[in-house]
Amino acid sequence: MSDSLVGLHEKFKAVCPIKISYSQFAKLRPPYIKQPCVSARDTCICKKCENHKLLVSSAYNAGIISTKNARELVNCLCCEKKGIECLSRKCENCRDRLILFNEYEHDCPVTYHCWRSEKTERKPPKKSANVARNAGNECEEKTKTITVKVAIERPAHEIVDALGTSNQEYMAHLYRIAHQYETLTKLKDNLTANDLVLHVDFSENYQCKYASEVQSMHFGGSRESITLHTGIAYGLDFKESFCSISDSERHDPSSIIAHIDPILEKHLALRPLITKLHLIFDGPTTQYRNKTYFDLLTSYLPEKYRQLLLITHNFSEPGHGKGGPDGVGGFLKNLADDAVAHGFDVHNFEKFCALLEANVNGVHLEKVTADAISRVDNCVNKELKPFVGTMKVRQLRWSKENRHDIFFNTLSCFECELGKPCVHFGMNKQPWKTDEKTGITTGKKAVKRSCHSLPADKTKRVKRAKNV
């Protein structure tokens, strides 16, 4: 329903001669006509897509353009099939098409909405404030970055300029989405006996529950949280869903490696022919897209699993990383919630694991302890320098042949030799090298580089691997 029952009743009376009371009108509503529910609203929209849609909608309402939404605008600028070449503006048939604007007043004010990040002063939580007061310290406000939806008013000619720039970025965004999806789908469809693909992601933490709870439990901070790292493994002759479960709430690079480790150990032990590992994740900077994770992925795993000759890590476009792992996480959490609804207590880590082990057959389960994460912490190199251009990376490539170099691509590519820089999407032509004896990185600095070298002290790495 797009309107309330009261509004629909008024519309019914205005167009229909039949007299009917509101209560009778409400009773006659068919059961398949549902009222809007707040839980059904979109809460995981891509920020870039939503901002462009809001801008296009405002321009349409102001009469500047004749297309109602962003998709229609893209369809007007592309061929009927709307292929990857059209989105990248390389198609000979549609690359010269422009947005058609209507006549408008140059300085007419137009209001549009936009999602953006802002810094604000926030008071610390109540517990932190009480601790500070007990210690005799003043409780100061801290600067925090929040995301808000704001209304912006601009002259019509500025809206036209902003729309042209935004549409160009939006089409490039759609191109990257389409390229990553098509390339990774082709990878899964053409696997060999040497390939293993792991598509993984963190599911939202499960909040433990009792079948019935006292008020202080329901509103207090006594609820235990459980981490779920879900995924799907693809091979030549198998496809398996899995989930690693931990009572540690850490989602940092060390915890990611600790969650991947038992899954990788299982498949490599069963299939000794596997020499190529392909990972598919989304790209949060605090989890997968940072220097610490890049180092652990290309030093810790190859040292522990010597049969790995090639590793690629492929990022989905930000805001568009939903896939099979999210379905695995939703299934497991719904199973636990269903048990709570039927009177069972799922109030801690042990109960949650026991419930899943007793009722789940199609998902491989692994437990990850805090000690396992701490062991990975001991292998973290704290002297790493970040790679300039990390946010533009869509693929990481490592090979045992050039084990001291990591090659980065702006988009995933499996046509080029994986152990060498990519000629299609490589971020630089010249490799960034490291002296194996001194561990000193040499070379001319560049804003964009095709590879990023890690300190190559092999002795320390071997020792760390043996300790693990």
Q: What is the pLDDT of residues 229-242, one digit of tens each?
A: 999 999 999 999 99
- Sheet with 395-399, strands from edge to edge, namely 363-367, 239-246, 225-234, 195-207, 276-281, 310-315, 395-399, 405-409, 451-453
Contact criterion met (CB below 8 Å) for 51 and 57: no
Is pLDDT of 449 > 60? no
Over range 350-364, report the average pLDDT. Answer: 93
Hey, is 397 helix, strand or coil?
A: strand
pLDDT of residue 349: 94
Q: Does one domain contain both 212 and 286?
A: yes
Over range 244-271, report the average pLDDT. Answer: 94
- Which pLDDT band, with edges at 50, 70 and 90, does 216 fall under? confident
Is pLDDT of 427 > 90? no
Q: Does one domain contain both 173 and 257?
A: no
Residue 135 lies in a domain: no
Contact criterion met (CB below 8 Å) for 229 and 204: no
pLDDT of residue 124: 66
Report the C-alpha gap between 171 and 408 in whole angstroms.
23
Residue 248 lies in a domain: yes
Using left for φ > 0, alpha for ψ between -120 and 50, and beta otherwise, residue 389 falls in left
Q: Does one domain contain both 206 and 100?
A: no
Least confident of 73-82, 265-274, 348-357, 359-368: 73-82
Q: Does one domain contain both 291 and 388?
A: yes
Q: Does one domain contain both 89 and 21?
A: no
Residue 433 lies in a domain: yes
- For residue 373, what are the contacts with CB-CB under 8 A and spacing of at least 6? 246, 248, 250, 254, 255, 258
pLDDT of residue 352: 95
Residue 357 lies in a domain: yes
Hey, is 179 helix, strand or coil?
A: helix
First-to-last alpha carbon distance for the chain, in angstroms, is: 58
Is pLDDT of 400 > 50? yes
Q: DSSP class of residue 346?
A: B
pLDDT of residue 35: 82
- Expressed as residue numbers, the domain containing 269 is 191-467
Hey, is 206 helix, strand or coil?
A: strand
pLDDT of residue 443: 35
Residue 185 lies in a domain: no
Both tokens of residue 124?
């610390």
Q: Does one domain contain both 396 and 458?
A: yes
In terms of Cβ atoms closer than 10 Å to its own Cβ (0-12, 13-18, 19+), residue 236 is: middle
Both tokens of residue 370?
């805090």
Q: Does one domain contain both 252 and 350?
A: yes
Tens digit of pLDDT for each residue in 73-113? 999 999 988 888 898 888 889 988 999 999 888 889 999 99
Q: Does one domain contain both 109 and 24?
A: no
Q: Does one domain contain both 151 and 229?
A: no
Give alpha helix (H) positions in 342-383: 349-359, 370-377
Over range 329-349, report the average pLDDT. Answer: 94
Residue 186 lies in a domain: no
How many domains does the chain contain in total?
3
Hey, is 238 helix, strand or coil?
A: coil
- Which pLDDT band, with edges at 50, 70 and 90, does 130 fall under? low
Q: Does one domain contain both 35 and 154?
A: no
Over range 128-135, report the average pLDDT. Answer: 55
Over range 298-311, report the average pLDDT. Answer: 92
Q: Vertex 102, ends 100 and 108: CA angle to 5°?
A: 125
Write the CA distances from 367 to 227, 350, 354, integer angstroms: 10, 10, 11
- The rounded Cα 137 to chain-centroid distance in angstroms is 39
Between the CA atoms of 408, 409, 415 and 418, what dihedral angle is there, to the nearest 10 degrees?
Answer: 0
- Segment holding 72, helix H or strand E: helix 70-77
Phi first, then psi: give them for residue 41, nearest 5 degrees: -75, 160
Over range 410-425, report the average pLDDT. Answer: 88
Rg (CA), the chain: 27
Q: Does one domain contain both 51 and 118?
A: yes
Residue 309 lies in a domain: yes
Residue 321 lies in a domain: yes
Tens digit of pLDDT for each residue in 194-211? 999 999 999 999 999 999
Tens digit of pLDDT for each residue in 260-286? 999 999 999 999 999 999 999 887 888
Is pLDDT of 464 > 50? no
Over range 13-41, report the average pLDDT. Answer: 88
- Location of structure tokens 């009222």: 35
Is pLDDT of 68 > 70? yes
Mean per-residue pLDDT over the chain, rounded:
84
For 405-431, the DSSP string reads EEEEESS--SSS-TTS--TTTBS-SS-
Over range 397-413, report the average pLDDT. Answer: 89
pLDDT of residue 3: 86
- Location of structure tokens 């001194």: 438
Is pLDDT of 43 > 50? yes
Q: Does one domain contain both 382 and 423?
A: yes
Hey, is 321 helix, strand or coil?
A: coil
Over range 357-377, report the average pLDDT. Answer: 93
